[in-house]
Amino acid sequence: MRLGDRNLDTICALSTASGHGGIAVIRVSGGKALESARNLARFLPEMPHSHQIYFGTLKTRDEEDLDEVLISYFAKGMSFTGEETLEISCHGSPQISGRILRELCASGCRAAERGEFTFRAFMNGNMDLIQAESILSLVQSEAPLQAAQALKQLKGGLSEKILKIEEQLIWCLAHLEANIDFSQEGLQSASSEMLLLQLASLESELADLVSSYKQGRILRDGLTVTLVGAVNVGKSSLLNLILGEKRALVSEIPGTTRDLVDGELFISGVKVRFVDTAGVRESQDPVEKLGIERSRSALADSDLVFFIFDLSLGLSENEKKMVAGITQSCLVIGNKSDQAQIRDGINVCAFHPEDRNILLGLVEKHIDAFKIEDQSVLLNSRHFELLNASHHLLKQACLEMREGVSEDLICLSLREALERLQEVLGKRYDDEILERVFKEFCIGK
Ligand SMILES: Nc1nc2c(ncn2[C@@H]2O[C@H](COP(=O)(O)OP(=O)(O)OP(=O)(O)O)[C@@H](O)[C@H]2O)c(=O)[nH]1
Ligand SMILES: [Mg+2]
C-alpha cells in the first residue's frame, strides 16, 4: 500500500512510554476518532468542543468499567495531525491502556505505525519534513543544547533559512532562463554579474549550513575525551576525580588499567564521555598488549585527548614522541603536582578535589570554541547529505558562470541544486524518502 493511502484509517496508539506510570495517554486520530471513542466513552457530548477536556468512565462493549479517564478533544483542522483527534489520559498501567486500545480497535480504529501521527501532520501540511524530523530529535534528545536546537527547528528556524535560499535560487533561475529566452534580442533580464553575485552569496550561506553539521553531531552524539599516557601517571585517578566516583581501579602498580573504562557528564549542555585507557609501555604481557592496542583505537575515536604525564618525572622523550603522533585536539596535562618542584603548563593533582574544575574547564573551552549556541545547526544526516549536494551543485554553477559556460548548462546545475533543497523541506518526496524518515520514529508519535 502506498504510504499516502493509509491516511484513510482512524489510528490509535499509546503515546506515553510503555510500563507503569502515573498516567498513560492514548491518541486516536482520523475521520472516525470521535465515533470510535464514543463506543467506550458514552459520556462524551454529541458535539464536543475543540480543546476541551471531558471526564468520565470508559466501558467495554459488555458494559464493564475500564477506567476513569480524561479525554481531550481536538476538532479536525485544529489538532497536531490536522485530523479529528482525541487524547485519552488513563491510569498508567499497561493492562489498562492495552484493554482500551483493544476496545478502540474493535470499534473501527487500527493500531498506528511508527511516526504515523507525525506523518499525517506532514501530509496534511501542518509542518514540513524538517519540522517532522525535529520532533524525533526532540524526543531522542539527551543533551539540553540538542533539545534547544531541535525545538528551534520545530518552530521553523531551519526551514525558514532554507526557504529563503530556495526563493532566491528560484529568482536567479527565472532570470537566467529569461536571459536565454531573450538572448536573440540581446536583452538581459538581470545582468550576469548580478546573478553571479547573488548565487555566490547563496553558496556561502549553504556552505555555513553544511559545516554546522560538525556542531550538530557534537550536540547529537556528544564529545569523547580520552585520557592517555604512560603507565602509572594517574590517568585512572583523574578519571575518578572528573566523574566524582571510584569508577576505575587505581594502584601503585604500573599497568593496572587493561580495558577501557568510561563515564559521562554534561558540560555546557553537551554530553561528554570520558574514557580512561591502559597506560602505554613496552610490554610482553599479552593481556596488557591487548589493552594498549585498545588505548590506540580509543585515541583514534576521540574528539579531544588529555595526554597525562607525571610532573614529578617530567615529560620523557618517549612521551614527547607519543604527543607528536596524536592527530586529534590534544592537551598535555601534568599530574601529581603535589610532588613536583616545577609546575609549568596545565598541572593538576588527582588528590585535590578543586582541580576537577581545571579539567572540566578545559572541556568547556573546547566546546565554547564551536559557538553552538549562537546559530542554527544541522542535526540530521539526511539534511546534511542533501544540503551538501545542493551546495556542490551551486558551487559548480558559480564556477561555470565565471568560465562563461552556456547558460543552459548552468540552469541544469541550478535546477538540481533547487531539487535537493526542496527534498530537505519535503516539498519533493517519494515513498522511499518518507519510509526512511518515519521508520526512525516510535509508535504513538
Ligand atoms: N602523589 C600523587 N599520587 C598520585 C596522583 N595521582 C595518582 N597518584 C598515584 O599514582 C599511582 C597510579 O595511579 P593510577 O591512577 O592507577 O595511574 P594510571 O595512569 O591509571 O596507571 P595505569 O593504569 O597503570 O596506566 C597510584 O598509586 C595513585 O594513588 C597525584 O596527583 N599525586
Ligand atoms: Mg589506570
Q: Is the same domain home to 119 and 69?
A: yes
361 domain-assigned: yes
Give residue 89's identity as a one-letter amino acid code.
S
- Please tell me whether residues 364 and 327 are part of one structural domain: yes
CB 100 within 8 A of CB 24: no
Domain CATH number, residue 350:
3.40.50.300
Query: Has residue 437 been placed in a domain?
Result: no
Predicted local distance difference test score (pLDDT) of residue 71: 98
- Domain with 91, as residue range(s), is 4-128
At 21, which CATH number? 3.30.1360.120
Question: Quick check: is 151 in a domain?
Answer: yes
pLDDT of residue 375: 73
Whether 316 is covered by a domain: the verdict is yes
pLDDT of 35 over the 70 cut? yes
Q: Give the span between the Cα atoms of 344 and 364, in whole angstroms.
A: 21
* Crossing angle between the packed helical segments 213-221 and 144-154, to the nearest 10 degrees: 120
User: What counts of helices (H) and strands (E) characterise the chain?
Assistant: 15, 12
| pLDDT tens, residue by residue, 208-217 | 999 999 889 9
**Distance between CA atoms of 62 and 426, rounded to whole angstroms?**
46
User: Which residues does 102 contact at the CB level (< 8 Å), separation at least 6?
Assistant: none
For residue 439, the model assigns a pLDDT of 86
Q: Establish whether residue 343 lines the binding site of ligand 1, counting it when its CB lies within 6 angstroms of any ligand atom.
A: no
Count of beta carbons in the 10 Å neighbourhood of residue 339: 11
**Nine-digit cell at 370?**
564551536
Query: Ligand 1 centre and the CA of 256: distance in Å?
Result: 10
236 lines ligand 1 (CB under 6 A): yes
Return the residue matching grid coordinates 550536540: 219
Residues 139 and 93: their CA atoms lie apart, in Å, by: 22
CATH of the domain at 208: 1.20.120.430
Handedness of CA 155, 161, 166, 172 (dihedral sign): positive
Q: pLDDT tens for residues 417-426?
A: 999 999 999 9
> What are the residues whose beta carbons fall under 8 Å from the beta carbon of 230, sequence distance 6 or more?
279, 280, 281, 309, 310, 316, 318, 319, 322
Residue with cell 604481557: 285
Which amino acid residue places its CA nearest to atom 6 of ligand 1? Answer: 234
* Assigned C-alpha cell, 422: 526542496
CB of 295 closer than 6 angstroms to any ligand 1 atom: no
Q: Is residue 118 located within the same domain as residue 18? A: yes
Cell numbers given for 261: 573504562
Q: Are residues 284 and 299 in the same domain?
A: yes
- pLDDT reported for residue 3: 56
CB 339 near ligand 1, within 6 Å: yes
Q: Quick check: 1 pLDDT over 50?
A: no
If one counts the domains in the chain, the total is 3
Q: What is the DSSP letter of 114?
A: B
Which ligand 1 atom sits nearest the alpha carbon of residue 239? 15
Average pLDDT over residues 27-53: 97
Please give the full DSSP string across 205-252, using - where no structure is assigned: HHHHHHHTHHHHHHHHH-EEEEEEEBTTSSHHHHHHHHHTS--S---S
Ligand nearest to the CA of 307: 1
Report the chain's mean pLDDT, rounded to a whole number: 93
User: Is 444 domain-assigned?
Assistant: no
Q: From 232, 247, 276, 337, give the residue whose CB has the most ligand 1 atoms within 8 Å, as the site to mutate.
A: 232
**pLDDT surpassing 80 at residue 238:** yes
Strand duo 329-335 + 11-14: pairing = unpaired
Å from CA of 340 to ligand 2 middle: 20
With 60 as the cut, is the pLDDT of residue 2 above it?
no
Please provide the DSSP assignment of 329-340 as one string: EEEEEEE-GGG-
360 and 253 part of one domain: yes
This prediction's pTM:
0.82
Rounded to a whole number of angstroms, the distance between the first and last alpha carbons of the chain is: 21
Per DSSP, the three-state class of 99 is: helix
Question: How far apart are the C-alpha atoms of 343 and 338, rounded to whole Å?
Answer: 9
What nine digits make up the cell of 136?
524525533
* Cell numbers linked to 19: 510500563
Cβ-Cβ contacts under 8 Å for 250 (sequence gap 6 or more):
236, 237, 240, 256
Question: Same domain for 295 and 394?
Answer: no
Give yes or no: residues 184 and 123 share one domain: no
Give the strand pairing for 21-29 and 85-92: antiparallel
Residues 168-188, buried b or exposed e (16+ Cβ, 10 A)? ebeebbebbbebeeeeeeeee
Of 11, 19, 26, 16, the residue nearest 100 (C-alpha): 26
Residue 432 located in a structural domain = no
**What is the average per-residue pLDDT within 74-102?**
97
Closest to 109 measured CA to CA, from 26, 28, 10: 10
Please indicate, yes or no, if residue 243 is contained in any of the structural domains.
yes
Q: Which of 122-126, 187-191, 230-234, 360-364 has the lowest mean pLDDT?
A: 187-191
Cα–Cα distance for residue pair 227/359, rounded to 1 Å: 11
Beta 223-229 vs 304-310: how paired, if at all?
parallel
Summarised one tens digit per residue, pLDDT across range 130-170 is 999 999 999 999 988 899 999 999 999 999 999 999 999 99
| Structural domain ending residue among the three candidates 341, 372, 403 | 372
In the predicted structure, residue 374 carries a pLDDT above the cut 80: no
Ligand 1 atom with minimal separation from the 339 CA: 1
- Sheet with 52-59, strands from edge to edge, namely 52-59, 65-74, 85-92, 21-29, 11-14, 110-111
| Interval between CA 257 and ligand 2 midpoint (Å) | 4
Domain identity same for 383 and 365? no
Point out which residues pair with 264 in neighbouring strands.
273
* Residue where a domain stops, chosen among 128, 159, 191: 128
Same domain, 208 and 146: yes
Nearest ligand for residue 350 CA: 1
Segment 235-261 shows an average pLDDT of 96
pLDDT > 60? residue 271: yes
Backbone angles phi, psi at 29, to 5 degrees: -140, 140
What would the mean pLDDT of 230-252 be, rounded to a whole number? 97
The pLDDT, as a whole number, for residue 283 is 82
User: Which amino acid is residue 420, in one-letter code?
Assistant: R
- Looking at the structure, tell me whether residues 100 and 162 fall in a common domain: no
Looking at the structure, tell me whether residues 67 and 39 fall in a common domain.
yes
For ligand 1, whether the C-beta of 56 sits within 6 Å is no
The residue nearest atom 7 of ligand 1, judged by CA position, is 234
Q: So what's the pLDDT on residue 151?
A: 94
Residue 5's pLDDT is 58
Residues 334 and 396 in one domain: no
CA of 217 to the centre of ligand 2 (A): 29
pLDDT at residue 414, rounded to an integer: 96
* Strands 65-74, 52-59: pairing kind: antiparallel
Q: Report if residue 19 sits inside a domain.
A: yes
Mean pLDDT of 103-112: 96
**Residue 58 and residue 40 in contact, taking contact as beta carbons nearer than 8 Å:** yes
* Residue 338 clears pLDDT 80, i.e. is over it: yes
